[in-house]
Amino acid sequence: MTAVHFRGSARQGPPTLDGVTSTLAPAVAPLRLGPLTVDPAVVLAPMAGITNPAFRTLCREFGAGLYVCEMITTRALVERNEKTLRMIRATPEEAAAGFSVQLYGVDPATVGRAVEMLVDEEVAGTRPAHVDLNFGCPVPKVTRKGGGSALPWRRVLFRDIVRAAVRAARDVPVTVKTRIGIDADHVTYLDAGRIAQDEGAAAITLHGRTADQLYSGTADWAPIARLVEAVDIPVLGNGDVWEADDALRMVDTTGCAGVVIGRGCLGRPWLFGDLAAAFAGSPRRALPTLREVAAVMHRHAQLLSAGQGELHGCTDFRKHVAWYLKGFSVGSDVRRALAMVSSLDELAGLLDRIEDQPYPTAVLGGPRGRTSSPRPVALPEGWLDDRDDPRPPAGAELETSGG
């Protein structure tokens, strides 16, 4: 199997979300995380069911950066859950280039033990180059137990978790990902940033939304700028980076050291090539034709099939079809058939039926992936009463990985 390549377009920057045309920006410096250098300063955000080895490989083929696996729960790892051990295996390319793991945990002792297993026992098949701690998940099943984006409110517990991870990791850099807070009345990001810095975290990522916003509205980048001013460790920005020029604008307006890409790369793994070009100061951006997109789709399904078997791989690929075809003029019958594909040959045959067409530039700069409406955050009873309660929330440990 070979990587897919296509020519980029030397655009002098497409219109950004506010309608202002960008100009050629200077290069963005590489990101330093302890002994690790990330160049360009771009990180793939963990996404459940998405950032598996196949997708990480595909994205890496388009551009360098740090590619993080799906979220791994510390309890499942410590208990050597079979599914979790499969999820955490690094590919040969990752073993050579640097494997990155995100952990979810609510108990300092369990988090520390999980990091020890990664670093000392190399349960991923290699020693990770980087460990990230998830304190940003806004999903109700997580927050109602005090985990994810609810946990930084308990600042002593947050401190103890970060401390346990950093001590267990030793020379492996540990980073933290969080949100602005639970809601507008319970903001946590400045405390979290200072605590993470004091406990030896190498960087902190801030998603510009509160937990109650989920993925609604527009991300607020102003807190990212305030966090940059408040701490000395690198701050990475996350939220509504749909194009490479959005990333440049985020760096320019906030002073952040790099960007974390989530939904923006869904159906567009070549975004990482655009980001590499942008951060190097180049105006080149990819505008693949539908034929070229079809080749990427087939490559993606091949990678999934190689890891999961053809039937499971093609079944897993189905959810990506709408993202890849967003904005293209493709008949509903073909779309439905692609969303039910069961073999690589069937996929190739369906893709061959689609006539080539230019990339639909009207979709550039627009949201991708899941959206939602704001809603109150589900929390354990009494969770907001004592910020200095060090006790892990009862029952918050997740038994399975992936989110």
Mean pLDDT along residues 43-57: 96
The whole-number pLDDT of residue 14 equals 34
- Mean pLDDT for the stretch of residues 332-338: 96
- The tens digit of pLDDT for each residue in 215-238 reads 999 999 999 999 999 999 999 999
Section 320-346 average pLDDT: 97
Whole-number Å distance between alpha carbons of 356 and 329:
10
Catalytic residue (one of 59, 69, 137, 265): 137
- What pLDDT shows up at residue 378? 95
* Other beta carbons less than 10 A from residue 125's beta carbon: 14
Domains and CATH numbers, the chain: 31-280 (3.20.20.70), 290-358 (1.10.1200)
pLDDT above 70 covers a percentage of the chain that reads 92
Instruction: Give the residue ranges of DSSP H helices in 286-396.
Output: 290-308, 310-317, 321-324, 332-338, 344-352
Q: Is position 69 annotated as part of the catalytic site?
A: no
CA distance 83 to 372: 29
The 10s digit of each residue's pLDDT in 247-283 is 999 999 999 999 999 999 999 999 999 999 999 999 9
Lay out the sheet containing 130-135: strands in order across.
66-67, 42-44, 258-261, 235-238, 203-207, 174-179, 130-135, 100-104, 72-73
The C-alpha atoms of residue 285 and residue 270 are separated, in whole angstroms, by: 9
pLDDT tier, 23 (very low <50, low <70, confident <90, very high otherwise):
very low
Which structure tokens are listed for 234?
Answer: 């690198």
Range in 89-93, 167-171, 308-312 the model is least confident about:
89-93
The answer to whether 173 and 33 have CB atoms below 8 angstroms apart is yes
Please identify which residue in the block is written with the tokens 């020379």: 171
